[in-house]
Amino acid sequence: MIDRPRLQPRRRSPAGHALLAVIIALGLGSLLNARALDRTANNLPYGTTRSVAVAVTEPLHSISSFLFLDRPRQALDALLGRSASTEPTVVLPGPDPQEPITPSTTAPPVEDFRLRTPTPDNPLKVWIIGDSLMELLGPSIVNEGEDSGVVDAEVDFQFVSGLTRRDFFDWPAYATEQLPLVQPEVVIAMFGGNDGQNANVDGVIVERWTPEWIEFYRSRVAEAMDTFTLEGSQLYWIALPIMANDLFSQHVQLMNDVYREEASKRPAVSVIESWDLFTDESGNFSAYLTNQDGNLELMRYGDGVHFTWAGARRLAAAILERMQTDWSAESQAG
């Protein structure tokens, strides 16, 4: 008979020891991860919570660096092929993320984009970008476009991103990198879901929705539109839909006005409206709407902002219909 070695049982420990281990783990863990914590704190919306968080994480980051406790994490990042410059915050040389308010009113550099008739052999190359509103809308455009056989689209959305907080995700910089690689003929963009937050302009916090903020936002939208059309792409900018919250809807109208005004200055940019697609007969927000088959469907999630699959398909159909009109042989002949 073989005697199997007996497994040694686990030792139970006093609660104080467990608590001590937890506190050491979280304390030392914070120092080892101080840079990531500091980045997370800085990414919070401007306000008291962010100020408190940054006041804690910045010294933590300094102590971590002083004690070389950030080195293990740096080594791991290097092993994984990451570096500070490849963190999600994309920073390219050039415009300062916190540049002064200088709204762009210049015409776009490219005006000679030419519409053609896409074919299955030579489908229309489409790049779909935006924030979390694109999570289901983007795939819906891709799927509906695939059914048409003449659209080759890819989605590149980023959660929690937008145009206000370039320190979190710099869309113009990212697009400048990606456009030569993707080479889209059409860019479909939808932003604004996360843009309604205070902005940092030259170290001064600009309160959201104030006239100063609107001008700041206008400059961001203008720069985004110019960047997205830099490679000669036609840009379809999707205006925001009505929201369940009345106040948010009012703010959305302010942002939509900015999109329309800036698009009107640029021949390569068209705004596609989405507001009326999500209202009932009285023009009010309705989460449930009748789809094209005549069936009642839930179009928006419980937050009153994001699209369900049905809502995303509804808007995707409107976008593709507009594109079909613009890119059809008839329209070009006309």
Partner 1 sequence: MLFPTVDFAIFFVVVLTANWFLMPHQKAWRVVMLAASFFFYGSWDYRFTALLAGSILINQAFGVAIHRSAGRRRHRLVSGAVAANLGILGFFKYYGFMVTSVANTLEAIGLQASLPLLQVVLPVGISFFTFQALSYVIDIYRGKFEPVPLLDFGVYLSFFPQLVAGPIVRAGEFLPQLKKPRDPRRVDSSRAFYLIAVGLAKKVAIADFLATQIVDGVFTTPGQFSSLEVLIGIYGYAVQIYCDFSAYSDIAIGVALLMGFSFPDNFNAPYTALSIRDFWRRWHMTLSRWLRDYLYIPLGGSRGSRPSIYRNLMLTMLLGGLWHGAAWSFVLWGGLHGGWLAYERWRDERRQARALPAPLDTVGRRIITRLIVFHLVCLGWVLFRAGSLAVAGDVLTRLVTGWGPAPAVTPAILLAILVGIGSQYVSRGAVVRVQAAFSRLAPALQGVTLAFALAAIDGLGQEGVAAFIYFQF
- Where along the sequence are the contacts to partner 1 (CB under 8 A)? 7-29, 32-33, 36-37, 40, 72-73, 76-77, 80, 87-88, 136, 139, 142-143, 146, 154-155, 159-160, 244, 286-288, 294-298, 300, 302, 304, 309
Angle of helix 309-327 relative to helix 134-148, nearest 10 degrees, comes to: 50
Nearer to partner 1, 26 or 247 (CB): 26
Nearer to partner 1 among residue 49 and residue 102 (C-beta): 49
Shortest CB 112 distance to partner 1, Å: 31
Cβ burial 95-106 (10 Å sphere, 16+ → b, else e) = eebeeebebbee
Indicate the residue among 135 and 215 with the shorter CB distance to partner 1.
Answer: 135
We find the least distance from the C-beta atom of residue 243 to partner 1, in angstroms, to be 12
Query: How many Cβ atoms sit within 10 Å of the Cβ of residue 248?
Result: 17
Q: Which residue has the tokens 């929705």?
A: 209
Closer CB to partner 1, residue 23 or residue 107? 23
Q: Which residue type, as a one-letter code, is found at position 124?
A: L
Long-range contacts of 203-206 (CB under 8 A, 24+ apart): 203/98, 205/46
* Rounded least distance, CB 154 to partner 1, Å: 7
Min separation Cβ 274 and partner 1, Å: 18
Question: Please, what is the minimum distance in Å from the beta carbon of residue 111 to partner 1?
Answer: 32
Residue 259 to residues 3, 13, 278, Cα–Cα distance (Å): 78, 62, 19
Instruction: Find the distance separating the first CA and the last CA of the chain, reported in whole Å.
Output: 93
